[in-house]
């Protein structure tokens, strides 16, 4: 796996853990921390930040789509040849990890039905 892909996966894990920590702080009733998280989230919703968040979400959706396309290409290549080479297996697993992390991040950050459909399609790709 290339250095850039490893850094991207580490970044996706970091974002996922931060979202988990924010969700945990919203669930647990620790007075000052919960109020700080709620105020921070309210500030993100105001001003120019929603446009930035939508742009980042759109970019991640495009990357997720192409990652899913690469998963399907690798699976079709393996089905056509009858077996997958070790390199194809590594690429397939890397793309699957990227797609699942991005799908989960989009689901938690946006919480919309579209993200749920993307996560379900990622899981279906895993089952194939």
pLDDT tens, residue by residue, 44-85: 667 666 666 777 777 788 888 888 888 889 888 888 888 888
Mean pLDDT along residues 97-122: 67
Tell me the whole-structure pTM to 2 decimals. Answer: 0.57
Distances 85 to 6, 67, 95, 125 between C-alpha atoms, Å:
21, 19, 15, 18
**To which H or E segment does residue 36 belong?**
helix 31-45
């Amino acid at each position: 796996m290339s250095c850039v892909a490893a850094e991207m996966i580490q970044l996706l894990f970091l974002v996922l853990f931060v979202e988990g920590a924010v969700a945990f702080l919203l669930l647990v009733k620790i007075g000052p921390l919960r109020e700080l998280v709620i105020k921070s989230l309210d500030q993100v919703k105001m001003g120019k930040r929603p446009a930035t968040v939508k742009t980042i979400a759109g970019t991640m959706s495009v990357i997720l789509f192409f990652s899913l396309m690469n998963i399907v290409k690798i699976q079709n290549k393996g089905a056509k040849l009858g077996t997958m080479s070790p390199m194809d297996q590594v690429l397939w697993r890397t793309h699957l990890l990227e797609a699942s992390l991005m799908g989960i991040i989009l689901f938690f950050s946006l919480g919309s039905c579209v993200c749920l459909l993307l996560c379900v399609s990622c899981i279906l790709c895993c089952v194939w």
